[in-house]
Amino acid sequence: MDMTRPEQIEIRWHGRGGQGAVTSAGMLAEAAYYAGFKGVSSAPAFGAERRGAPVTASTRLANATLRHFSQVENPDMVVVLEDSLLVTANAVNGLGAKGYVIVNSHLAPEELGLSNGFRIATADADSVAEEIELRVSGVIMVNTAMLGAVAKATGLITLEHIERVLNHTFSPKAARKNIEAARMTYECTRCAY
């Protein structure tokens, strides 16, 4: 389902240290630039994080030059790389009614137990990453796969924009795996709105 093209959209990513939330926030900004957004930015939120600890990152997309670069507190969309963060990190905090919640989960959107009129999409990016053996240091990586879920759920970017970013970022072999992960996740994304 296509999201209407707002003047500006603020996105907050939730992941765990080492999952690539910060990297994905930047990749989404680059893909959105290829999609025609004039102002794009991404920013990590750093503290005393360690591998496995909850982390956030922000992405802003606008039709004009951006003039502020603070962390996103009241997002229009949250992207959650692990569904347990919905509770443990209160990932939907600050998200308004009709905001987008895009979650890596094997559950259907209706099974997440979220309310407030959110537009919810789920994709089992874990299974996709396992199937194509998308691992870094033995850990499955879902961050690039979830770009496919963002594309499917919102229409802000396309798989072609994601492919361009991934080809620019990774070696040809790694890019192919990540592109396949994004494509497969796009195909398995389920939306409830």
85-100 tens-digit pLDDT: 999 999 999 998 899 9
Q: Do residues 171 and 17 touch, judged by C-beta distance below 8 A? A: no
Q: What pLDDT score was predicted for residue 137?
A: 84
N- to C-terminal Cα separation, the chain = 8
CA distance 159 to 179: 8
For every residue of 129-170, DSSP letters joined together read: HHHTT-EETTEE--HHHHHHHHHHHH-SS-HHHHHHHHHHHS
Q: Which of 52-61, 63-72, 111-120, 173-182 has the lowest mean pLDDT?
A: 63-72
CA distance 27 to 118: 24
Q: How far is CA 78 from CA 37, 119, 171, in A?
A: 19, 10, 29
Q: What pLDDT score was predicted for residue 45?
A: 79
Domains of the chain, residue spans:
8-192
Is residue 74 within a helix (H) or strand (E), and if so which, with residue range? none
Report whether pLDDT(68) > 90. no
Report whether pLDDT(136) > 60. yes
Residues whose CB is less than 8 angstroms from the CB of residue 1 and which lie 6 or more positions away in sequence, other chains included: 119, 153, 154, 155, 191, 193
Q: Which of 127, 107, 136, 118 is nearest to 185 (CA)?
A: 127
Superfamily per CATH, domain 8-192? Pyruvate-ferredoxin oxidoreductase, PFOR, domain III (3.40.920.10)
Q: What pLDDT score was predicted for residue 1?
A: 42
Report whether pLDDT(2) > 60. no
Report whether pLDDT(16) > 80. yes
Report whether pLDDT(66) > 50. yes
pTM confidence score? 0.93
Radius of gyration of the chain (CA): 15
Give the confidence band of 46 by pLDDT, cuts at 50, 70, 90.
low
Q: What percent of the chain has pLDDT over 70?
A: 93
Q: What percent of the chain has pLDDT over 90?
A: 76
Report whether pLDDT(187) > 60. yes
Report whether pLDDT(49) > 60. no
